[in-house]
Amino acid sequence: MALAFRPGFAVDLACPGHVAIERLTEAIVAGPMQLRRSRVPGGGRDTPRRDHDHLVLVGPAAQQRFWSPWLTIDVAPREGGAQVRARFSPHPSVWTGFAFGYLTVTVVLVLSLAFAGAQAMMGSAPWALWGSAGAAVALVGLWSAAQLGQRLARAEMEALARELERALAACQPTTPD
């Protein structure tokens, strides 16, 4: 599995969505992983037989670390069966922290470049370039931390993918994406 920005995959199943959801839920609950279930936005009231669903698969609580991945799973009906789309991501608080960090450092970089440009146009030494250099180093640091987190989480990502494949085996995939 190559490192990528929120890697994911999709599988078309021959069984209907509600059957896939039931089998997936039963198979994962019986295993070591934790399954969290939530309603799809706009999905209406919660009825026992749903063809759409949103699930989150995570590793055992005792083995979770800061870099541990989540596997979000969306089940939707598709011509005579269902489609399961799965995407890896970090914990939402980690994801939000990185997004806020990138935003903050980018704003500092742009403002310091603008200030340095104004200093240069006024004929003074553009000392604000030091802020730009610091922001650029911080951006590289954030990117490096994200790459390190993906490398540390690789084994967990593979375990989550294997668990999902095992759980979906009961619904005979028709064509993988």
User: How many other C-beta atoms lie within 10 A of the C-beta of residue 162?
Assistant: 11
Backbone angles phi, psi at 69, to 5 degrees: -85, 160
Dihedral angle computed from the Cα positions of residues 131, 137, 143 and 148, in that order, rounded to the nearest 10 degrees: -140
The whole-number average pLDDT for the span 126-134 is: 94
Same domain, yes or no: 169 and 117: no
Residues 163 and 111 in one domain: no
Same domain, yes or no: 26 and 86: yes
Nearest-CA neighbor of 11 among 147, 169, 156? Answer: 169
- Is 125 among the domain residues? yes
Task: Report d(CA 23, CA 171) in Å as an integer.
Answer: 8
pLDDT tens sequence across 14-43: 888 888 888 888 888 877 888 887 765 555
Beta bridge partners of 56: 36, 72
Q: Could you tell me if residue 2 is inside a domain?
A: no
Domain that holds residue 27: 8-91+156-176
Query: What's the pTM value of the predicted model, to 2 decimals?
Result: 0.72
